[in-house]
Amino acid sequence: MTHPMKSPDGTAASRLAFGTMQFGGRADATASRAMFDACVEAGITHFDTAHVYNEGASETLLGGMLGKRRDSLIIATKAAYSGGGSKANITSSFEISRQRLKLDMVDVLYMHRFDPDTDLHESMEAMAELKSAGRIRYVGVSNFAAWQVMKAIAIAAKFDLAIDILQPMYNLVKRQAEVELLPMCADQGVACAPYSPLGGGLLTGKYVTGGVGRLAEDDRYAARYGLAFMHEAAAGLSQIATELDVPAPTLAVAWAAAHPMGPTPIISARSADQLVPSLAAMDFEMDSALYKRIAALSPTPPPATDRIEEQS
């Protein structure tokens, strides 16, 4: 079951979301605008940013693009990646984000990551106050473990608040979300907008042919996607893509979207041209045979119990 998230005027959330992490960084204002326009034209209604993206440039650029379309779009941002989950930090961070976005109300506010050093009651109270003041409509958490999400759900309920959406990492070579996060979302009626459906560019196949990009430029991404099986899976996906005459990024994004829970992968790019194959996943119908064939390229994560004799 997918959470029925809607824009202020009731427009439904699109099958994919667009992440503006590159706005004002690797994508200048012109490239950013071209990607935004391409997304709107393709039917994307859900746009994701964060307080920390490119020191505010991402929020500022996105805010300048919304115009008269604003009420038909879902705009999400995140607080407390740095500075902790205190009420003061969430509130002050969000106020800056809101001003950059030029919005009285932002549709979704995420806690960008779990803060073990702040009582989650304080964080959820901050979210509840923002919601009751009409500053936000939906509450999200990002990069939380399943137990952390369930803790947030329990504490949020004390403030008559729901956790509406989760943003985890998820792609063909990062499948931990399948063990507990995605089943939990299905069970609790929490929407899921996973990031990195292309594995930092690995699943585009460009590294198979010696291309350049984040895995070559960014040590964090090189480490995150450094295991041999990941590169073998990327090569296998490229072979299937060639065979089907479908771009590898289209297959990678469509695969992430095809999980039975019904996630909304967040796509991104540096330019409108680079975005084209990911956007094509909006209309790509993946049958169960192709889904299973692609899934077989990488290890299915083990279940969350050691009682394997009870697994069906």
Per-residue pLDDT at 170: 98
Q: 122 vs 82, 88, 118, 126, 136, CA distance in Å?
A: 16, 9, 7, 6, 17
Enzyme catalytic residues? 53
pLDDT tens column, 74-92: 999 999 999 999 999 999 9
Instruction: Give mean pLDDT, residues 133-147.
Output: 98
Q: Rounded CA gap, 127 and 78, in Å?
A: 11
pLDDT of residue 287: 97
**Range scoring the smallest mean pLDDT among 90-94, 170-174, 206-210:** 206-210
Domain 17-200+260-284 has CATH 3.20.20.100: yes
Count the Cβ atoms, other than its own, within 10 Å of residue 260: 9
Question: What is the average pLDDT value for the chain, to the nearest integer?
Answer: 95
Q: What is the mean pLDDT of residues 189-208?
A: 94
Nearest to 4 by CA among 12, 207, 77: 12
Please determine, for residue 1, whether its predicted confidence score (pLDDT) is greater than 70.
no
pLDDT for residue 259: 98
pLDDT in tens, 251-286: 999 999 999 999 999 999 999 999 999 999 999 999
Identify residue 22 by its one-letter amino acid code: Q
Q: Residue 87's CB: how many other CB atoms inside 10 A?
A: 17
| Under 8 Å between Cβ of 226 and 250 | no
pTM confidence score = 0.96
Domain ranges of the chain: 17-200+260-284
Give the span between the Cα atoms of 168 and 183, in whole angstroms.
Answer: 13
* Angle formed by the axes of helices 272-279 and 29-42, nearest 10°: 20
Residue 80's pLDDT is 94
